[in-house]
Amino acid sequence: MHSLNVLAMNSGSSSLKFGLYRVDSTGAQKLLGETIATAENPDAITQVASVLAASGMPPPDAIGHRIVHGGPALRQHSRIDDAVLRQLQAAAAFAPLHAPAALAHIRFAQAHFPGVPQVACFDTAFHAELPEVARVLPIARELQSEGIQRYGFHGLSLESIVQQLGNGMPVRLVIAHLGNGASITAVKGGKSIDTSMGLTPTGGVIMGTRSGDLDPGLLVYLMREKRLDAAQIEALVDHQSGLKGISGLDSDMRQLHEAAPSNPDARLAIEMFCQSVRKQIAAMIAVLDGLDLLVFTGGIGENDAVVRASICAGLSWIGVNLDEARNCLASNPINNATSRCSVQVLVSKEDEQIARHAWALVA
């Protein structure tokens, strides 16, 4: 198949990443890329057109979009047509933190690149074959038929880790994707068999501004006693919780590290985050019946040696032991010679995965 120039649009909860790739059957070559913090720049999307225009690069032959949640109807990467757009609109309630921006980016691309084929790449696709024991939620059966189930997220990141491991892929793998959003996934023989996020990207471990798992009775209490409505509950668990809620300062782990020596709330936020992740890793080890490889990825997972060390310090019982110098340098493997399993730091390459999928569906 021939090569294509693919524009990959990756809209996260706090940033917009985009990259232009030259893709063919041998792989994807990055031609340009940029990350824009959307919180500080609500007009970030217009910068994409400006960067592309100024670059002198050829226009894209295809455009791929990261879509966090496609709902029950969209579980495989798909070319975008009117029917897919309607399904994306219908699924927006599952990921209110991400869906509006992704839909806006699709409309932007349609307006600026008319006639260029577009592809939706779903973060839930990697988890589409979760076994029933992980997929089914312990709720009334009639609700399950409405698509209320565990979906799992960060699938494009997880795909990119599996792609990088290639023939070195072990049987029992745990991937800790740690960033503003965070999830832990058990991968057996290259397939997701359990993951920490559930129906939405709010569940699982503590995150930047998201609560992760909570006692459902807490939400009932807040509705009954504090008279919070659905919008207020959503704002609380998605925007005012997690590291930001615990510390009262910031959702950015770098800022919390700076404040920690003199601020006990910042220290507590970091400790709670590490313990939350450690507990989920241990749960996934139980699901896998052991561990061959632990991979850290995502902004925190790739760049924060202190957090990696803290998480792994509580996993010595399973034989996870880090080499301090290698961990500080993120020089793989970061485990020492006594460790019973390998520990690595791998860069999440979501944009490259988007470009690969777009090429496969268009070329």
**167-345 has the same fold as 4-150:** yes
**pLDDT value at position 93?**
85
Omega before residue 333 within 30° of 0, cis: yes
Q: Which of 90, 91, 89 is nearest to 104 (CA)?
A: 89
pLDDT at residue 312 tops 90: yes
pLDDT at residue 2 tops 90: no
**pLDDT value at position 97?**
75
Count Cα atoms within 13 angstroms, Cβ side, for 144: 9
> What is the pTM for the complete model shown?
0.95
pLDDT at residue 300 tops 90: yes
CB 4, CB 23: distance < 8 Å: yes
* CATH number assigned to the domain with residue range 4-150, chosen from the 4 options 3.30.420.40, 3.50.50.60, 3.40.50.1820, 3.40.47.10: 3.30.420.40
Mean pLDDT of 83-92: 93
Torsion of CA 356, 89, 153, 258, to 10 degrees: 100
3-state secondary structure of 168: helix
pLDDT at residue 13 tops 70: no
Which residue would you say has higher pLDDT here, 153 or 57? Answer: 153
Q: Which of 160, 216, 148, 213 is nearest to 183 (CA)?
A: 213
- H helices then E strands: how many in the chain? 15, 11
Please state the domain extents for the chain: 4-150, 167-345
Which residue would you say has higher pLDDT here, 137 or 145? Answer: 137
Using 50, 70 and 90 to split pLDDT, how confident is the model at 104?
confident
pLDDT at residue 41 tops 70: no
State the DSSP code for 26: T
CB 155, CB 68: distance < 8 Å: no
CATH superfamily of 167-345: ATPase, nucleotide binding domain (3.30.420.40)
Mean pLDDT of 47-74: 91
Using 50, 70 and 90 to split pLDDT, how confident is the model at 49?
confident
Active site residues: 123
Q: Mind listing the pLDDT tens digit for each residue in 169-209?
A: 999 999 999 999 999 999 999 999 999 999 999 999 999 99
Percent of the chain with pLDDT over 90: 84
**pLDDT value at position 16?**
85
Using 50, 70 and 90 to split pLDDT, how confident is the model at 297?
very high
Which residues have a Cβ under 8 Å from the Cβ of 326 and sit 6 or more positions away?
Answer: 332, 333, 334, 335, 336
Using 50, 70 and 90 to split pLDDT, how confident is the model at 102?
confident
Mean pLDDT of 247-274: 98
Q: How far apart are alpha carbons 279 and 184 in whole angstroms?
A: 10
Q: At what angle do helices 216-225 and 230-239 cross, to 10 degrees?
A: 130
Q: Which of 337, 341, 343 is nearest to 319 (CA)?
A: 341
Output the CA torsion sign for 233, 203, 98, 183.
positive
Q: Which of 238, 229, 234, 184 is nearest to 211 (CA)?
A: 238
134: its two tokens? 């992980």
**Mean pLDDT (the chain, rounded):** 94
Q: Which of 80, 181, 72, 192 is nearest to 127 (CA)?
A: 192
Please name every residue paired with 183 in a beta bridge, in sequence order, or none if there are none.
177
Mean pLDDT of 128-154: 95
